Amino acid sequence: MKKLAFNLFRTALASVLLMAFGTAASAESSRPNIVFILADDLGFTDTAPYGSEINTPTISALAAKGLRFSNYHTAGSCAPSRAMLLTGVDSHRAGVPNIPEMLPPEQTQHPNYRGVLGHNVVTIATLLQDQGYHTYIAGKWHLGMTPDLLPSARGFERSFIMADSGADNWEQKPYLPIYEQANWFADGKRTTLPDDFYSSRFLIDKTIEFIDSNAGDSEPFFAYVPFQAVHLPVQAPQEFIDRYMETYDGGWDELRRQRYLRAVELGLVPKNSAMVDMQTTADWDALTPAQKKYQAKRMAVYAAMVEAMDFHIGRLITHLRDIGEYENTIFVFTSDNGAEPNGPADPDTALTRFALARQGYENDYETLGLKGSFNSIGPSFASAAASPLSYYKFYSGEGGMRVPLIIAGEALQSQSAMTSAFSFATDLAPTILELAGTQTPQPRFGNLRYGGREIEPMIGRSLVPLIEGETTRVYDDHEPIGYELGGNSALFQGDYKIVLNRGPVGDGQWYLYNIVDDPGETRDLSKSESRRFQAMLSAYNRYTKENGVLPVPKGFNAQQQVALNGLRERAGPAILIGILLLLIVLPFVFYARARREQ
């Protein structure tokens, strides 16, 4: 009898253990792959799901399989965005309040103003790797290039990255004279690019190579693909350029208006919303036919670069289907900031051509966008890329901060849906971790530590409740979200935003907008809602104190600072730096002078 009872107990125990381990094994095997795709300098309406005329069928397919965000915000420049995206921590606390190339020396004396990712933060790559994920990166890093700061030391198992703010898309060449070389690294060591390099194609090739290297071990992967597209220099293969050669003949004003109408039609902005006319936008009708033709091709190359990126994302998705991983993969697609306005307003000047030639570039019409060519779209088409929003990259206007965000996957509850809930760059790290079934680090005995060191807590909110339809917003009306970059500032609270944009485009004054009803920031409410305005200003001041935000030096000019820092670093080619300064800043100098004369 005792033996029978013992056998029954043993059988029952074995069954329980089998069920427990089986459940755990099942949960382990069902953990999703995560593909995090980050475009560079992509405007709010630069893809088809957001109202663009640019052909982006892959991104459209992702939107049909997930949730589009119409009120997602990021930083106005690349490195601060990347720091927040990978850590869920405010950029000032993460050590990256601005790109390092733009930080004045008065600020770099402070430990949180070095422009590189601090050791007081932990990346989602580290957290996922510690939970058994394979972690890969192929693309732009821009968070530090010393051995302790490269991706191989920040949680990435395999990496092939460019460490600078940008580089040529056709060859290993720096795009600005502030760099001696284009700094590419493979698994923590300097490397060289192949002769047949084109950035978007190569980065997807590398991502596929990394995924395939561990395809047989059944462990999930986190693949981070930060594209160079569509950062300067704007370059694309000829077959993509040819598709847009007549698309932009109507000019930037017409394009901005067309995209606004499509955004309204898609429900991205309210029907009664308005747009500002950016004073940096040139008069299209004042151009000669030859000038219009050239400007239209500048934008055609830009559109081609966007479509080429979309095409290569499609290659990655096709490969995931082929190896049976597509249905178990969640995709996150977004941009690091709004459209890039820099570049000469008139590329056809002797000064522009001389400066480009010294850097090994030309900008002839026939070869624009091809190898050896330097192209940009300038502030006029940048405003169209951000339509119907105001401002663009570097600034705190919606055009610099509001960008596309799509979270998609076959297994997600949200399919072909859209949310107008406010969300911020720091929200993506906890979202990705929750989707992967990984907890954010939790304090013990009052201290938050990870990997043997104290770390900053993630401040972002997981967006999973929005994805699963459990709520309509993750921030309540009283929670402030502060932001600052290079003196350009903002604070979001509920449907409202206070914003300050410095010169040369802004006037250095605070304004209050309801960015849900008025995403174009056309109706200042600072006087009609003065109590709210003052309360939000007080909240912003608290944010600066709590996060160690430093004021910019008197007379600070971001583009000039880049040139001065480049001169200081290289201590030689002053003439190139001077030319760079004129090339980048001249359009805004003319604009500022025109404003003073009004």
Q: Summarize the confidence of residues 535-560 as an average pLDDT.
A: 96
Task: Report the 10 Å Cβ neighbour count for 591.
Answer: 19
Asked if pLDDT for residue 43 goes beyond 50, the answer is: yes
Of 73, 134, 142, 231, catalytic: 142
* Of 24 and 422, more confident: 422
Q: Which residues have a Cβ under 8 Å from the Cβ of 158 and sit 6 or more positions away?
A: 134, 135, 136, 137, 187, 210, 213
Asked if pLDDT for residue 94 goes beyond 80, the answer is: yes
Q: In the chain, pLDDT over 70 holds for what percent of residues?
A: 90
> Where do the structural domains in the chain lie, given as residue ranges?
31-546, 558-597
Rg (CA), the chain: 24
Tell whether the torsion through CA atoms of 152, 155, 157 and 160 is positive or negative. negative
pLDDT band at 73 (very low <50, low <70, confident <90, very high): very high
Asked if pLDDT for residue 9 goes beyond 70, the answer is: no
CA neighbor of 337 nearest in space, from 107, 578, 140: 140
pLDDT of residue 343: 85
Task: Report the 10 Å Cβ neighbour count for 143.
Answer: 27
Asked if pLDDT for residue 216 goes beyond 50, the answer is: yes
pLDDT of residue 591: 52
DSSP state of 32: P
Helix, strand, coil in percent for the chain, rounding step 5: 40, 15, 45
The Cα–Cα gap between 363 and 295 comes to 12
- Name beta bridge partners: 332: 36, 407
pLDDT of residue 493: 98
Give phi and psi for 89, each to the nearest 5: -115, 145
Collapsed DSSP state (helix, strand, coil) of residue 531: helix
Of 78, 92, 134, 312, catalytic: 78
pLDDT band at 578 (very low <50, low <70, confident <90, very high): low
pLDDT of residue 571: 58
The region that residue 41 occupies, defined by phi over 0 for left and psi between -120 and 50 for alpha, beta otherwise, is left
Using the structure block, give the residue that is written with the tokens 């580089």.
167
pLDDT band at 582 (very low <50, low <70, confident <90, very high): low
Contact between 66 and 407 (Cβ < 8 Å): yes
The DSSP string of 532-592 is HHHHHHHHHHHHHHHTTPPPPPTT--HHHHHHHHHHHHH-S-HHHHHHHHHHHHHHHHHHH
The Cα–Cα gap between 100 and 336 comes to 16
Collapsed DSSP state (helix, strand, coil) of residue 468: coil
Asked if pLDDT for residue 543 goes beyond 80, the answer is: yes
Asked if pLDDT for residue 362 goes beyond 60, the answer is: yes
Strand pairing class (488-493; 480-485): antiparallel
User: Where are any strands of DSSP class E within 284-372?
Assistant: 329-335
Asked if pLDDT for residue 22 goes beyond 80, the answer is: no
| Helix ranges restricted to H, 323-389 | 350-358, 378-385
pLDDT band at 592 (very low <50, low <70, confident <90, very high): low
pLDDT band at 581 (very low <50, low <70, confident <90, very high): low
110 is catalytic: no
pLDDT band at 551 (very low <50, low <70, confident <90, very high): very high
Asked if pLDDT for residue 476 goes beyond 70, the answer is: yes
- Name beta bridge partners: 133: none
pLDDT of residue 512: 98
Contact between 100 and 114 (Cβ < 8 Å): yes
pLDDT band at 563 (very low <50, low <70, confident <90, very high): confident
Asked if pLDDT for residue 411 goes beyond 80, the answer is: yes
pLDDT of residue 236: 98
pLDDT of residue 16: 38
Average of per-residue pLDDT values in the chain: 91
pLDDT of residue 397: 98
pLDDT of residue 445: 80
Element (H, E) at 480: strand 480-485
78 is catalytic: yes
pLDDT tens digits, one per residue of 170-191:
999 999 999 999 999 999 999 9
Instruction: Name the superfamily (CATH) of residues 31-546.
Output: Alkaline Phosphatase, subunit A (3.40.720.10)
pLDDT of residue 413: 86
* Of 193 and 348, more confident: 193
Asked if pLDDT for residue 502 goes beyond 90, the answer is: yes
Asked if pLDDT for residue 478 goes beyond 90, the answer is: yes
pLDDT tens digits, one per residue of 95-138:
999 999 999 999 999 999 999 999 999 999 999 999 999 999 99
Which residues in 76-97 are b (16+ Cβ under 10 Å) and which e? Answer: bbbbbbbbbbbbbbbbbbbbbb
| Helix ranges restricted to H, 389-524 | 398-401, 428-435, 464-467
pLDDT band at 401 (very low <50, low <70, confident <90, very high): very high
Asked if pLDDT for residue 2 goes beyond 50, the answer is: no
Collapsed DSSP state (helix, strand, coil) of residue 353: helix
